[in-house]
Chain A
Amino acid sequence: MLSVELRGEARKQRAAPAGEFTDEFPMTQEPLFGERPGKAPRADRLVVLPFATSVRIAYQSIKVRFFRSLITTLSLVLAVSFLSFVDVSNDIANGMLASGDPELRQSLLRAGYDFGPEEANVASTAKQRWIIILSLLVCVVGIVNAQLMAVTERFREIGTMKCLGALDRFVLRLFLLEAGMQGLAGALSGAAAGALFALAAGLGRFGLEAVREVGAGDLGLSIGWATATGVGLSLLGVLYPAWVAARMQPVEAMRVEQ
């Protein structure tokens, strides 16, 4: 009933141009949702933020606060590079085992890898897994902390956007997009760095022979897995802060104290 009144009002405005400056931009440019033929009016379509625009705003936001974004992402880079390092190291060891070369098998045993005489592959040990999980947990906590601070820093910007008509979900989407982009960049570079480091370490310990045996597929899979984990963690870490941001009241923008 009330939304009908609102739309009626909008229609009235269109019929009577409000002033000399509005004539050039008649409101017919905007689809008025109550007037779309054959479609039921939907109030939730009244305010929009196109996805491409959200991506652009999120990207700009990261670019402008580059240093800040870098620090937020750094813990992710480190954790993901550790994950990738362990995975790729195992890939190298598996490649050496799969080659069937007894010398490479011996050097693996000398290096402290623990496997029976029959086994054909090396799995990560329970200890390794625990350390990885712990490092990823610490990383998520770090991201939550950094993002909560970012929300506090940006509360006025968020409040202003809401005064301009942004819905909760626009804010949520912007934060998720930012975290996704940061996560992708950070996780990719972390995974690549970890893999490179593991290859360099393999080269140093076992020689060129060993590194040559690594399957490209395994390597790609490890890097891909580490990257995906990183992006997932980045999104997981921003969920709560983004929710806090999205629920912020527009009146916050009016507060004077910095």
Chain B
Amino acid sequence: MPETSHVVRVSGVTKNFRIGKIEVQALKGVDLEIARGEYLSIMGPSGSGKSTLFNMIGGLDKPSAGKVFIDEVDIAQLDAYELAWLRCRKIGYIFQTFNIIQVMTALENVTLPMVFAGMNSDATVKKGMRLLEQVGLGDRHSHKPFELSGGQQQRVAIARALANDPAIILADEPTGNLDLTTGEEIIALLKRLSRERRVTVISATHDIKMLNVSDRVVWIRDGRIDKIENREELSISIGKIRVRE
């Protein structure tokens, strides 16, 4: 199966929303193929359909027309149980607002997806500790979210996203609520993990820093793909910005 190299395949996807009596077309036919292990950024102004496309790739929303394949499985065909399993095992989510579950410690947050996946508790603790060490929070495992800084919470979220060795990590503005330095650290961490674990990272972002590490950048405008740029093309333009700084 040569096509399995595409971990995500979006073909002819449209999405209509009904707001009151007005029908709004958020996506007007998007085709996109994402290779395994790729680091992809989706850029676009707000209202461009970026979030809609992003949610579609994450199996959080179903297209009005067209198909979304994750690991060559058409997500529109999945029932609630299979979708939950997909979210649990295939996809790791990272949010702009971190979304660490407030009532749980860092370790419990990281182990929760493994509990859902049916791992026994000793194994979850062992693996959870290891993941926290990987993101540099090994000594913070028993802390509650409110005792952690924004950057640390996002690290916990990254560890949690990796819990079940997903094929895809979906990061929605992962640096949106972080300061410049912390954001850079988070980006470096994501990049390192994606390289080491060969995980596909897909992020929706406004952050220029993110472009530097991306293999490809997809620009969305007005519900369509405006252009797709490879890293080589990008580094030139980023280089210019850097020089100006």
B80 to chain A, nearest CB (A): 7
- Asked whether any CB of chain A lies closer than 8 Å to the CB of B243, the reply is no
Chain B 118-138 interface mask (CB, 8 Å, partner A; 1/0): 111001001100100010000
Pair B89/A165 contact, Cβ less than 8 Å: yes
Number of interface residues of A (CB under 8 A): 51
- Asked whether any CB of chain A lies closer than 8 Å to the CB of B82, the reply is yes
Near B by CB (< 8 A), chain A positions 51-105 give: 53, 57, 60-61, 63-65
- Asked whether any CB of chain A lies closer than 8 Å to the CB of B72, the reply is yes
Residues of chain B within 8 A (CB-CB) of A250 are 60, 87
Pair B93/A253 contact, Cβ less than 8 Å: yes
Pair A163/B60 contact, Cβ less than 8 Å: yes
Complex Cα spacing A208 to B176, Å: 70
Pair A251/B60 contact, Cβ less than 8 Å: yes
Closest to A60 in B: B103
Closest to A167 in B: B84
Q: Which of B61, B118, B165 contacts A31 (CB 8 A)?
A: B118
Residues of chain B within 8 A (CB-CB) of A63 are 103
Residues of chain B within 8 A (CB-CB) of A29 are 119-120, 123
Closest to B97 in A: A256
B24 to chain A, nearest CB (A): 17
Closest to B103 in A: A64
Hey, which bits of chain A sit against chain B, CB under 8 A? 2-3, 5-6, 9-10, 13, 18-22, 24-25, 27, 29-31, 43-44, 46-50, 53, 57, 60-61, 63-65, 156-157, 159-168, 170, 249-251, 253-254, 256
Pair B196/A254 contact, Cβ less than 8 Å: no
How would you classify the secondary structure of chain A's contact residues: helix, strand, loop or mixed?
helix
Complex Cα spacing A22 to B166, Å: 11
A187 to chain B, nearest CB (A): 23
Pair B82/A2 contact, Cβ less than 8 Å: yes
Chain B 77-95 interface mask (CB, 8 Å, partner A; 1/0): 1111110111111000101
Q: Which of B81, B101, B176 contacts A161 (CB 8 A)?
A: B101
Pair A46/B81 contact, Cβ less than 8 Å: yes
Binds A, one of B12-20, B108-116, B210-218, B222-230: B108-116
Pair A30/B117 contact, Cβ less than 8 Å: yes
Complex Cα spacing A43 to B89, Å: 14
Q: Which of B58, B78, B115 contacts A53 (CB 8 A)?
A: B115
